[in-house]
Structure 1
Amino acid sequence: MNKEILKEVEKRLYSYFEREYTVKGIKLKISKLEEQITQIEEDIKNNNVIIEEESRAVTYGEKVQTSLNYTSYAEREFVKAIERLEREKVFKLARIGELKAELRKVEEEASEIECNMHRLSKLDLEFIELKYKFKPKLSVEEVSNELNMSRSSAYIRRDKIINEIYSWICIPGA
């Protein structure tokens, strides 16, 4: 049994059994980001921004300045505040896109295993659930005790299951 293959398939099995929590977490993050985007849009729509007060310190030096800028300090600060909100919204939209891509990847990897689980025997299913699904994670020796089999039989069964699962899934570079 190639150790690289064993590690990769075991990683996929752990991910497969934890996908429910992973998907739930990703969907919660997306929901929170969408709520924040809605709040940002409301702030922009209602002009709900805070403008810092212009410094009114008295200066006694002679200062002559000609300016062709016809916007007031308040208008410039208001535009800056709205632009900050718009940048924050764009960042959050990009993050939602990343999370949705991650969600698709998790579901794709799980589907490779899920659509072939019916091929395993009842004993094999029980073995992988004990080893990879339930917490705390059990060692192969502990699984062998649970299933009343010898330690060597448990390792042989694990290798057989890993090889069978490996034949179902696409592992790049393995």
Structure 2
Amino acid sequence: MDKKEFKRIEKRIYNYFKRDKKIAALKHKIDILAKQIEQIDKELRECNISIDIESSSPSFEERVQSSPDGTSYAEREVIRITDLKLKRKLSKEIEIEEIKEEIENIELDNSILEYNLQYINEEWYKLLELKYKFKKNETQISLEMNISQSQVNKIKQKAIADIRRWEEWRKVE
């Protein structure tokens, strides 16, 4: 196995072990977006819109207000602000759907690896967890697992070779 392939598989293992944290962060973002959508809905229901005084009015004397489409300045501003709020709401709803898709993709990408890691040797799994989840170096792993550094490297190489074979089997199917 070449160095590039080894690094690619290592990256997949890192992603596997940090998936829960990433998914939790994405779900938190969904919660924030949902609260923002709720706030926009509340503003729309309550007609919480403030309009500046029309800047083009030179005086406060009585006059007849007319426009080509029959709407007043206030009506145009209310429509414009309402449209902006609806656009914000829609963009947040789209972002939520994109995040949900990202979560589904993370779960799908890790499903095969997760399934196969259930059946891996316990010692190998512990080593992978120490290395890729807790980001410990070979010396720390060797001390914690009570094995030599060379054993750490051999086990890591074997485990990654097995993971590569799982991916090859998946491609054959």
Q: Same fold (TM over 0.5)?
A: yes
Alignment correspondent of 1:8: 8
Alignment correspondent of 2:72: 72
* Structure 1 pair 67–117 and aligned structure 2 pair: CA distance change class (3 A): closer
CA shift at 1:141, angstroms?
3.4
* Structure 1 pair 68–143 and aligned structure 2 pair: CA distance change class (3 A): same
Alignment correspondent of 1:146: 144
* Structure 1 pair 67–83 and aligned structure 2 pair: CA distance change class (3 A): closer
Contact kept, 8 Å, 1:51 with 1:74, in 2: the verdict is: yes
Alignment correspondent of 1:121: 121
Please, which runs of 5 or more residues in structure 2 have no aligned partner?
Answer: 60-65
Pairing of 1:21-100 with structure 2 (within 5 A): 21-55=21-55, 58=58, 67-100=67-100
Residues in 1 aligned to 2:80 and 2:14: alpha-carbon distance in whole angstroms: 47
Residues in 2 aligned to 1:70 and 1:34: alpha-carbon distance in whole angstroms: 37
CA shift at 1:117, angstroms?
1.3
Alignment correspondent of 1:162: 160
Residues in 2 aligned to 1:23 and 1:67: alpha-carbon distance in whole angstroms: 53
CA shift at 1:142, angstroms?
2.8
Segments ≥4 residues shifted beyond 3 Å: 169-172
Please, which runs of 5 or more residues in structure 1 have no aligned partner?
Answer: 60-65
Letter of the structure 2 residue corresponding to residue 141 of structure 1? T
Letter of the structure 1 residue corresponding to residue 27 of structure 2? K
CA shift at 1:67, angstroms?
4.8
Superposition TM-score, scaled by structure 2 size: 0.84
Superposition TM-score, scaled by structure 1 size: 0.84
Q: What percentage of aligned pairs have identical amino acids?
A: 34
Counterpart secondary structure, 1:29? helix
RMSD: 2.2
Alignment correspondent of 1:63: none
Residues in 2 aligned to 1:36 and 1:19: alpha-carbon distance in whole angstroms: 26
The answer to which structure has the higher helix fraction is 2
Alignment correspondent of 2:62: none
Contact kept, 8 Å, 1:127 with 1:143, in 2: the verdict is: yes
CA shift at 1:57, angstroms?
5.3
CA shift at 1:149, angstroms?
2.5
CA shift at 1:69, angstroms?
3.1
Q: How many residues are matched?
A: 164
CA shift at 1:56, angstroms?
5.4
CA shift at 1:14, angstroms?
1.4
CA shift at 1:108, angstroms?
1.2
